[in-house]
Amino acid sequence: MNIPQPEQIDRRRLESINIINALRRGTVPASGLERIAVALDVEEGVIGKQLDYVAQGGGDTKFIRGEYGSGKTFLVARALEIACTKGFVTSHVVISSSTPLHKLKGIYQQICANLRTSDEEHAIKTIIDNWLFSIEERLISVSGSGVEDSALEAATEREIETALAGISEVNTALAAALRTYYRENNAGEFQLAQSALGWISAEPNIGRDFKQKAGIRGDIDDTTAFIFLRGLVSIIHGAGYRGLAIAVDEMEITQGLQRNQREKGYQTLVQIIDALDRGDMPRCYFLFTGTPALYDGSRGIRSVPPLYDRISVVQTDAYRNPRQPQIILSKFDTSKLELVALKVLDVYAQAYAEPDRERVSHRFIRAMIKKITTRFGGRVDVIPRIFLKEFVDVLDKCELYEDYDPADTYNFDTGHLKGELKKEEEAVMVVSF
């Protein structure tokens, strides 16, 4: 019989508290998403198999399509969680006016800034340090522990060049920057070492001193960002991780750009898909999200036939096939929201105490959903975030006050939501006079 150890119980409780805290704030929890996921088993299975393929040296991609309220953000977070458990480094990029799809440098910069491992956020320094350490360890195992520091450093610098040979044939700057980082870090020149990391990450305004030390001219730009991304994935794998999983979220903003910018952004996607299919980006997984208008609208992906041909789906009947280029999410409905609520009850029990299932019955949950949807034009799909915030509040009050009976007391009023509603929620809210 396997009895949970105290540290396992503590970890589970901490994760449970984190989930409930996130729901209180109306955000997606950082971990434990499988505990509140519903109706995503098929999609998760497909993504998991893709990641297994990428971990063996392949490259792959998936496009997620759904309206607001279909759970795109949740599935993206869940996919990155799955990737993390499989030993991948992950990064989540949100397309915006400051990080548009057609600016590859900006996307690369955000990838670097948001690198995450199972243990750490903003993990680029740790990843590069682990890679360099693995090179040193390999050299010591070959040469013996008696190798002098200066000889080890020289051999490591040569090995950096060898490890990135394929990249250096096209652009020598990445290897030069990494050698400089290694050298300055060992010499205790941490400011210069930090500048090297900043330059590798495409940060703006890196000082002239670093570039002179490294013998580098200029910065990473839109034409070289792809090359550097390939180099980054190579470093990630060399540091002991299975690969890099990148989520590119909210691509629909691209539709609002000028035609030349839109088309350049969509051509970026063609470039990524073709590079993955050719095997030019091994151990790299891309996940893209967008609304149906992005895929089918006149200013969307359909306007660039080469891209549309690559990611269009064969059919969209009741038997969903997420193995096709797109995962098509249906809108959230009452039954799904009820299931989530029941799962949240179980999580709450592990975070705090077993909820009173009589006061917070399935019948009450249905009534609560109805009260909230009524104020949002009957649209269940726009209320999950609001419902879960309200639901956790009910659970808290049930635990804190023995005489609190939500069946008699709970009433939904939108007054307290002023200033925090998203535009999609506000658009369907029924205004009371």
pLDDT digits over 54-85, tens only?
999 999 999 999 988 788 888 999 999 999 99
* Average pLDDT of the segment spanning 302-329: 88
* Average pLDDT of the segment spanning 380-395: 91
Of 6-10, 110-114, 156-160, 361-365, the one with minimum mean pLDDT is 6-10
What does R_g of the chain's alpha carbons equal in angstroms? 25
Measured CA to CA in angstroms, residue 327 lies from 15, 37, 42, 200, 397 at distances of 28, 16, 10, 34, 39
* Average pLDDT of the segment spanning 367-376: 90
* pLDDT above 70 for 359: yes
- The whole-number pLDDT of residue 430 equals 66
Tokens of 357: 């299932």
Distance, CA of 343 to CA of 365 (rounded, Å) = 12
Q: Where in the chain is the domain with CATH 3.40.50.300?
A: 37-117+241-328
More confident residue, 420 or 126: 126
- The whole-number pLDDT of residue 377 equals 84
- The whole-number pLDDT of residue 324 equals 93
Residue 369 near residue 386, CB atoms below 8 Å: no
Measured CA to CA in angstroms, residue 372 lies from 38, 338, 417 at distances of 20, 13, 12
* Average pLDDT of the segment spanning 411-426: 72
* pLDDT above 60 for 144: yes
Q: What is the pTM of this model?
A: 0.88
Distance, CA of 153 to CA of 87 (rounded, Å) = 29
pLDDT-derived band at 4 (thresholds 50, 70, 90) equals low
Residue 75 near residue 329, CB atoms below 8 Å: yes
* pLDDT above 70 for 104: yes
Distance, CA of 430 to CA of 421 (rounded, Å) = 13
Indicate the average pLDDT of the chain. 89
Distance, CA of 181 to CA of 375 (rounded, Å) = 57
- Compute how many other C-beta atoms are within 10 angstroms of the C-beta atom of residue 258: 9
Q: Is 395 helix (H, G, I), strand (E, B) or coil?
A: helix
- In total, the chain counts a number of residues equal to 433
Residue 325 near residue 50, CB atoms below 8 Å: no
Distance, CA of 108 to CA of 336 (rounded, Å) = 36
pLDDT-derived band at 39 (thresholds 50, 70, 90) equals confident
Measured CA to CA in angstroms, residue 317 lies from 292, 320, 321, 330, 332 at distances of 16, 6, 9, 12, 18
- The whole-number pLDDT of residue 432 equals 53
Residue 342 near residue 364, CB atoms below 8 Å: no
| Residue 37: partners with Cβ closer than 8 Å, 6 or more residues away | 44, 74, 78
- The whole-number pLDDT of residue 2 equals 59
* pLDDT above 90 for 8: no
* Topology annotation, domain 37-117+241-328: Rossmann fold (3.40.50)
- The whole-number pLDDT of residue 49 equals 98
pLDDT-derived band at 316 (thresholds 50, 70, 90) equals low
- The whole-number pLDDT of residue 6 equals 60
Distance, CA of 27 to CA of 15 (rounded, Å) = 15
Percent residues over pLDDT 90 in the chain? 60
Q: How are the residues of the chain apportioned to helix, strand and coil, as percentages rounded to the nearest 5? A: 60, 5, 35
* Average pLDDT of the segment spanning 229-245: 95
Tokens of 103: 């600016």
Residue 109 near residue 232, CB atoms below 8 Å: no
Distance, CA of 202 to CA of 223 (rounded, Å) = 13
Tokens of 264: 């350049």
pLDDT-derived band at 422 (thresholds 50, 70, 90) equals confident
Element (H, E) at 273: helix 259-278
Residue 216 near residue 209, CB atoms below 8 Å: no
Residues 361, 362, 363, 364: is their CA dihedral positive or negative?
Answer: positive
Element (H, E) at 92: strand 89-94
* pLDDT above 50 for 433: no
